[in-house]
Structure 1
Amino acid sequence: MASAAVKSNFYKWHRVLGLTALIPVIFWTLSGLSHPFMSNWFRPSIAQEVFKPLVQSQMKPALSIQQVLDKNNIAAIRNFGLVNFNHNTFYQVLDKDSVYTYYSANDGVLLKDGDKLYATYLARYFTQDSTSNIKKINYQTTFDGQYQPINHLLPVWKISFDRPDGMDIYIETSQSRMGTFNNNTRKAFLWLFEQFHTWQFLADIGGDTFRNVVLLIIMTVMLCALISGLTVYGLMWKKFKSITEKRKEKGGEDKRIVHRFHRQIGLIVSFVMFTFVISGAFHLAVKLHNTETPKADYSQVINRKQLAISNLQLSLADSLIKRVAVVSFDSNTYYQVTDNKKQIAYFNTLTGKEQMNADEDYARFLSTYYHTHQDPDKFYGRVKVNQVKQFDNEYGFINKRLPVERVSYADGSNWYIETTSSKLATKVAGIDRAEGLSFIFLHKYFGMTWAGKNIRDIVSMLAALGVLVVSLFGLASFIKNK
């Protein structure tokens, strides 16, 4: 009697938990099925994905940055660079108010709306579209539904083309690169995924913490439904087997075919459902754990007097220079020069002397800056710095920035610094590393990468489809019992 009561209670709780999780499961599986279409098969194409700037000898600047600053009575800046567009070369100057202004490298004259014009030029370069009208241009300092945090780069210009496909291009002018691009189809998929997979509507109602707590509760209910279902099958499999054998002996009609399919398919997909639930719950738990407010991006103010040596007279051939900027750290100011092989050299702005291994030193400096709880005067163990030139499982494609310096600490944490923008690309500590690996392998099926992206997407879709079918068979069996 006690055993029968236990079995009955397990069965009832399984139905309650399963019905509670039904709508979320439908939302997540259908939106999960749409993801490969958005990120792979229906992803819009673009003519150019990477901008290839001219070397300095091709830009042919007539004036130095000092001459341009003096002519415009500018006493201090945050940074500068050289850009070439519309058959002219300009100094791209980041002023003390963190606004980009553009001055001709030939006569020092200010270019009105220069940053907007350069963003438009880059958008046309990436699309190779020189004829379509520009419908709208917005300066964007925050992420939103169509330009999500996964794109990382901010601030950006959103350039909207007046075309049938509704193409939008997001441009980061400071590094002359593209954040992402969306057409009408991708925008629809993004909205679907945002509302039905990440449940943005909950964040709109109560904020990110509220959303993550609700989703974690639902994930827990799903896990309990899975465990209770397996328990029910384990406790009652002999009974199910006996009923099936008696029906076959009598040659009767299988009136519980829906229940049988629910059990059988449920057993088959129980493992993939477990991987989805555990990785998703872990992902949410880490989000709730990481509540620390990120430190503001590193900023500097460079006085004109610190720029004693002309940027046009460095001991590196103009034919090799792809990018010039200026950085200040450890009480020194340097020209930061990127060559045509993406090697980064540093030249003291007062003496013109090259500082060896300065990119590593700057990465260490920035990493210490971005550590919110680290005392600069305290020793935390040996720090190792390596340049990363390609993405891997820990520093994946979603991080966008390359090359970066990986600053590795004795506690096993890695801080990835993009020295050319002075920004923290990402940090990977113990729990973050574990969560990242579990998510890409258990949730996104990166373990199937060896078979190709198409096969990986098909396998992940079949897994999601299996979970959806089990849930719908479970609903059908509940309705038949009514």
Structure 2
Amino acid sequence: MSVKTKTARWSYSKHQWLGLIGGISLLVWGLSGLTHIAMVLFGPQQAQFMPPAASVELEGARPIAETLAQQGIGEAVAVKTVPAAGGGVLWQVTGDPLTARRYFRPDNGSEVAGGDRAQAEFLARHYLATDRAITSAKLQTEFDADYPWVNRLLPVWKLEFSGDDGLTAYVHTETSSLAAVNNTTKNRLQSVFRALHTWEWVPPGMDWLRVVVIALMVGSLLALGLTGIAMLVTVRRKKRLPGARGWHRIAGYVLALPLIMFSASGIYHLIQSAMVPPQSNLAMGKPVNVASGKWPIEADWSLIAKERDIASVALVEGAAGQPLYRIGLAPPKGSMGRGEHDHGPAKAPAEHGMEGHDHAAMMAAQAAAKVPTTDAEIREARFAGIKPDGPAIYLEAATGKLVASGDKDLARAIARRFTGAPDSAVTGVELVTRFSHEYDFRNKRLPVWRVDYGAPISASLFVDTGAGVLVDRVADREKPERLVFSFIHKWNFLFPVGRLAQNVLVGAFAIALIGFMAVLGLRMDLVRRLRVRRDGQGREEQSGTAFIHK
């Protein structure tokens, strides 16, 4: 008997044996996978992509240092301006990262009562463009089934709106962002996905059993795909078989490879997740000594703001541990800056001995992107990672002097605080302006700085210099799996066609797999089992041999 015939017989017997468990597995993971695509394509969508516009005007305002001193605030994790309802800005002060933020009016330093909830409502109405009544508002400090850990951001305000659709917004006031938006339909789809695709209903103490069972079931899909390809190669047909068997074989030529891609990458992801449980690595920096910020930035505001559109002001910790004012400059109106390079300090008033290149010329040189306005454009922008961004000026909070170093040096210093590793271990520092397989859209922040470390850290840290925050940390050993899962399981190699077309194509292949491989395969398996029961095992073996040689 030739090798080809032996291979054909072996693959046929194993393909039949795997048919039942493989068909059921394909139905379970195929249908539940479609719920994720449905959430992306048809889930509730924000009406506005850009955050509320705000131009910082602090001339004649009360110095923030005096306001903080009066409130007895000597240290804070973050102090920065944020857009305010009705225009202008407020000072936002973060003490304990998991508690509500405090807000102070720049003009007189008075505190806004219930400011964090009011800010969350303002942001939710801006992003969703709704005037519906809010029926419930709760500060959420833990992840749950409706707001799982993949959303990364905590704490968030959970705002429930009136109406039969169960519209719910999760607002992260620290970043002025809409962390998530749900409705009844999306919640149901999420429940199906967690129950059937990730099996999150399994108790934590039995996670090993979840991994074993899923690995066996998804492994049967991989084995079905491989044995199916072996049959296609070794068993040639002069004409198409009638009925379900003919359609099943034809579909195999197109769908065997996608089946292998989904199942193999799924198993890899499952094993990697079991070895390194996924978690949010988001961490805010240590409190900054704001009491030492004696220089009143407000007194020189007319010089600082001259011929500049200033979008934000923040107190951050510098590379040497000193408090700095970070003056964030806005991109041109109607466009979105990419922040593609570390420009160092931008041009600042000559009275402070600050020299640099002109902000307007620099921003004109940057590539500008049209602000997304339609539903499709907003969905695409959220996943692509386009974010408003401009350069920044750094001034010493104690003296007002220009800090020669820029975001790149600060990024290195922030990473050093979270790792404790010397700068000699750093192998690279670069600005990240778009999401990728290593830094995906779930992190929600852009731009960020990527700091790569060699041994002993052997990881990449992603930091937000505007807030001194560690956004994510990815160990080198995790990167191959992230690449495989992104490009092989999620099919992100289709990115040139756009997010919408990509999801439509993946969904179409998933439906084809379910219809031609699972449904037809299970039907064929049922017919075979009924025939075996009727005719006996011996006749079934003859039928198998006849199939091979037919």
Q: Do the structures match in fold with TM over 0.5?
A: yes
Q: CA deviation at 1:298?
A: 4.0
* % identical equivalent positions: 26
* Distance in 1 (alpha carbons) for counterparts of 2:223 and 2:55: 60
Residue 439 (structure 1) aligns with: 485
CA distance in 1, matches of 2:251, 2:287: 63
Structure 1 unaligned blocks of 5 or more: 246-253
Q: Which moved more, 1:259-268 or 1:175-184?
A: 259-268
2:249 partner letter: R
- Residues 95-153 of structure 1: per-residue CA shift (max 9 Å, x gap): 257632223333333322211111111111112223x2111112222333332333332
Residues 1:192 and 1:293: Cα distance change in structure 2 (over 3 Å): closer
Deviations 1:269-316 (A, max 9, x none): 111111111221222232233249776724322335311112324562
Structure 1 residue aligned with 2:326, among 325, 333, 336? 336
Q: Counterpart of 1:287 in structure 2: which amino acid?
A: S
- Name structure 2 gaps, 5 residues minimum: 332-389, 531-550
Between stretches 447-456 and 349-358, larger displacement belongs to 447-456
SS across alignment from 2:194 = helix
CA deviation string 1:424-451 (max 9, x = no partner): 3334554433323322322222233333
Partner of 2:105: 104
Q: Which position in structure 2 is the counterpart of 1:306?
A: 292
Q: How does 1:240-259 map to 2 (within 5 A)?
A: 241=237, 257-259=243-245
- Distance verdict in 2 for CA 1:182–1:417, change over 3 Å: same
Match of 1:269 in 2: 255
What residue is the counterpart of 1:80 in the other structure? 79
Which deviates more, 409-418 or 396-405? 409-418
Q: Relative to structure 1, is the Cα distance of residues 128 and 420 closer, same or farther in structure 2, using a 3 angstrom cutoff?
A: same
Q: Is the 8 A contact 1:169 1:181 kept in 2?
A: yes
The CA distance in 1 between the partners of 2:212 and 2:62, in whole Å, is: 57
Alignment partner, residue 378 of structure 2: none
- Which residue pairs with 2:449 in the alignment? 405
Query: In 1, distance between residues paired with 2:423 and 2:79?
Result: 33
Structure 2 residue 313 is the aligned partner of structure 1 residue 324: yes
| Distance across 2 between alignment mates of 1:296 and 1:126 | 23
Deviation sequence 1:144-200 (CA, Å, 0-9, x none): 333233333222111111123322111111121111222333233222323222222
8 Å CA contact 1:386, 1:406 repeated in 2: yes
Deviation string, structure 1 residues 226-272 (Cα, Å, up to 9, x no partner): 2233345556x26xx49x79xxxxxxxx7x63333333323431111
Contact 1:61–1:105 (Cα < 8 Å) also in 2:
no
| 1:478/1:295 CA distance change after superposition, 3 Å | closer
Structure-2 separation of matches of 1:410 and 1:459? 39
Q: Match for 2:330: what amino acid?
A: N
TM-score, structure 2 length as denominator? 0.74
User: What is the alpha-carbon distance in structure 2 between the residues aligned to residue 310 and residue 166 of structure 1?
Assistant: 47
> RMSD across aligned C-alpha pairs, in angstroms?
3.2
User: What amino acid maps onto 1:299 in structure 2?
Assistant: G
Paired residues of 1:50 and 1:178 also in contact (CA < 8 A): no
Give the whole-Å Cα distance in 2 for the aligned partners of 1:427 and 1:385.
Answer: 14
1:23-46 CA distance string (max 9 Å, x none): 221021112333333212x23333
| C-alpha spacing 1:138/1:94, structure 2 compared with 1 (3 Å) | same
Amino acid at match of 2:424: F
Structure 1 CA distance, aligned partners of 2:433 and 2:279? 28
Alpha carbons 1:297, 1:422 under 8 Å: kept: no
How many Å separate the matches in 2 of 1:228 and 1:301?
A: 59
TM-score normalised over the length of structure 1: 0.84
Matched ranges for 1:74-153 at <5 A: 74-87=73-86, 89-95=89-95, 99=99, 100-130=101-131, 132-153=132-153
1:386 alignment partner, one of 430, 435, 439? 430
**Are the counterparts in 2 of residues 69 and 75 from structure 1 also a CA contact under 8 Å?**
yes
Contact 1:298 1:366 in 2 (8 A): no
Deviations 1:354-392 (A, max 9, x none): 212332122112223344xxx534732x54322233345
Q: How does 1:282-301 map to 2 (within 5 A)?
A: 282-291=268-277, 297-301=283-287
Q: Residue in 2 aligned with 1:479? A: 526
TM superposition shift of 1:77: 2.5
Q: Per the alignment, in what secondary structure is the counterpart of residue 273 of structure 1?
A: helix
Q: Distance in 2 between matches of 1:311 and 1:22?
A: 67
